[in-house]
Amino acid sequence: MPELGKYAGEVLSAYAVSLLLLAGLVIVTLWRGRAARRALEETEAEAGRRG
Amino acid sequence: MSLWQYANPVKFLALSARVQPVLWTLAAVFTSVGLLWGFFGTPDDARQGSTVKIIYLHVPSALMAINAWFMMLVASLIWLIRRHHVSALAAKAAAPVGLVMTLIALVTGAIWGQPMWGTWWAWDPRLTSFLILFLFYLGYIALWQAVEDPDTAADLTSVLCLVGSVFAVLSRYAVQFWNQGLHQGTSIPVATGNRSVADVFFYPLVMAMLGFGLLFLALVVYRTGTEIRLRRTSALQARMNRRA
């Protein structure tokens, strides 16, 4: 861990907030993508059954 | 081979499946190296102390906040002129990514500004135009959600994107336009090449900027695929409902 001195709180909070936001964005993106893929597969299967 | 072939959703999905592993890997490598190098491998600045380490988050996110809007502008123009659905969906897919980038730039700017300027916020031209850009992102996303017909939503959001581009430009050039306020001018002017950032800070910053750019690209390609699948699902369901 580098010596951050009197600004440690500012630097660490900037990194924490940013990394949390980026991680949240990536997780939501992947989760939504998988849900959409699953929904399309189910709908295509249903459409195929109905002809 | 023409770029326009990727306006075909099937071809776009095939291309995105091929490029995504490369994009995600490069994004992870460049972002990690840039941030870790910047955080652990660079010294304190003589005047700013350790707060200079915030630059590796603030500058790349601000860069992508503005460039995301310009990417949406190009995609919106393609939709308005050529009516390619993939371009409208790409603009829609990019908006939440741009919103998060803008939020990171605003938050890290406030955290950095407090010890350096003595205030979290000032109604400075660049800060204010960035806040307005953030509000435009919110409005753009809300408009997509509010309009039921997807083509009408694409038309209206494209027009909103054209209007918001004024603030994307202002966010980029506010310091030059007004030459006042707390925020400094660009540290890395591409046009002149006279950067004011020392090499020890510059190289990890370039890595972080490339990383954020690649992350944006990976996210937008993936999210565009998601939007295409959601649109296809809705169309199939509507067709089945009509037949039932």
- DSSP category for residue B43: P
Q: Is residue A38 assigned to a domain?
A: yes
A-chain residues near B104 (CB < 8 A): 17-18, 21-22
- DSSP category for residue A7: G
Beta-carbon neighbour count of residue B87 at 10 Å? 25
Q: Is residue A36 assigned to a domain?
A: yes
| ipTM of the shown complex | 0.94
Tokens 């700013």 identify what position? Answer: B48
Burial degree of B205 (CB within 10 A; 0-12, 13-18, 19+):
buried
Q: How many domains does chain A have?
A: 1
Domain layout of chain B by residue ranges: 19-41+49-185+197-239
- Which chain A residue has its CA at the smallest distance from B225's CA? A33
A-chain residues near B238 (CB < 8 A): none
- DSSP category for residue B45: B
Partner-chain contact A21 B225, CB within 8 Å: no
Residue B40 CA, distance from chain mean position: 26
Nearest to B134 by CA among B158, B80, B170: B170
A-chain residues near B46 (CB < 8 A): none
Nearest to B171 by CA among B209, B213, B129: B129
Q: Is residue A33 assigned to a domain?
A: yes
Q: How far is B114 from chain A (nearest CA, A)?
A: 9
Question: Measured between CB atoms, does B97 come within 8 Å of chain A?
Answer: yes
Residues B122 and B181: beta-carbon distance below 8 Å: yes
The span from the CA of B148 to the CA of B153, in Å, is: 7
The CATH classification number of B19-41+49-185+197-239 equals 1.20.120
Partner-chain contact B115 A10, CB within 8 Å: yes
Q: Is residue A51 assigned to a domain?
A: yes
Partner-chain contact A17 B111, CB within 8 Å: yes
Residues B73 and B162: beta-carbon distance below 8 Å: yes
Partner-chain contact A10 B97, CB within 8 Å: no
Q: What is the pLDDT along chain B (244 residues), one digit of tens a residue?
A: 577 777 789 999 999 999 999 999 999 999 999 999 999 999 999 888 999 999 999 999 999 999 999 999 999 999 999 999 999 999 999 999 999 999 999 999 999 999 998 899 988 888 888 999 999 999 999 999 999 999 999 999 999 999 999 888 877 776 666 666 667 666 666 556 667 778 899 999 999 999 999 999 999 999 999 999 999 999 999 999 888 7
Q: Is residue A2 assigned to a domain?
A: no
Domain that holds residue A42: 23-51
